């Protein structure tokens, strides 16, 4: 389910606002700015069935918007390895930005988001996952992963609104630099 006009969608600030910075090309800095973009994917059988509200996806999109990200897509998929792998692959196709999943990172039998994510990632980013786990003592129960797929960074967040926000906050400060490195716009 795509919701480009949902919470957090659209530009939160104009060019040059938070999250926008000078792009660099072969000749150095240019006058154009790079907008940080994000896509949010909620992984939940209950939300797909209409028996639960997508609160975590909404708060993550809202927080990303407040941080200067343009949330250009929100979607909901059922739990499962194949559904998560397919959604992340589709979201990353031709996209250079942040892809965030919420839900499916615990020990329940249908909590398979990390497995679906691992199937499609090009490279793992264990430092991001470790930082997210340190955000709260219950983070020790998270199996969430993080990594890159083509020109996107993929983060798995828990399905609880509090846990999703805490984990996102733990890495928000480094994501713009990581995205610039991934696009080849920032030296190491």
Question: pLDDT tens digit string along 109-157?
Answer: 999 999 999 999 999 999 999 999 999 999 999 999 999 999 999 999 9
Distance from C-alpha of 53 to C-alpha of 143, rounded to nearest angstrom: 23
pLDDT beyond 80 at 85: yes
The kind and range of the H/E element at 68 are none
pLDDT at 185: 87
pLDDT at 188: 65
pLDDT at 34: 61
pLDDT at 63: 98
The kind and range of the H/E element at 25 are strand 21-25
Distance from C-alpha of 12 to C-alpha of 177, rounded to nearest angstrom: 19
Q: Average pLDDT over the chain, rounded to whole?
A: 86
Q: What is the pTM of this model?
A: 0.82
What domains can you pick out in the chain, each with its CATH number? 35-182 (3.40.980.10)
Provide, rounded to the nearest whole percent, the portion of the chain with pLDDT above 70.
Answer: 80
What residue ranges in the chain does DSSP mark as E strands?
A: 21-25, 28-34, 37-43, 70-77, 98-102, 123-124, 146-149, 152-157
Give the mean pLDDT of 164-181. 97
């Amino acid at each position: 389910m795509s919701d480009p006009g949902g919470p957090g969608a659209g530009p939160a600030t104009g060019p040059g606002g938070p999250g926008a910075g000078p792009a660099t090309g072969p000749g150095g800095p240019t006058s154009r700015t790079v907008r940080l973009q994000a896509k949010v994917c909620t992984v939940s059988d209950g939300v797909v069935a209409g028996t639960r509200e997508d609160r975590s996806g909404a708060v993550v999109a809202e927080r990303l918007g407040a941080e200067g990200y343009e949330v250009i897509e929100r979607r909901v998929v059922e739990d499962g390895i194949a559904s998560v792998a397919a959604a992340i692959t589709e979201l990353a196709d031709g996209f250079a930005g942040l892809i965030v999943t919420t839900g499916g990172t615990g020990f329940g039998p249908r909590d398979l988001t990390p497995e679906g994510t691992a199937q499609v990632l090009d490279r793992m980013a264990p430092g991001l996952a470790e930082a997210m786990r340190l955000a709260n003592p219950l983070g020790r129960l998270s199996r969430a992963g993080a990594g890159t797929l083509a020109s996107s960074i993929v983060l798995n967040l828990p399905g609880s609104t509090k846990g999703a926000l805490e984990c996102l906050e733990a890495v928000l400060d480094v994501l713009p630099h990581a995205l610039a490195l991934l696009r080849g716009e920032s030296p190491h």
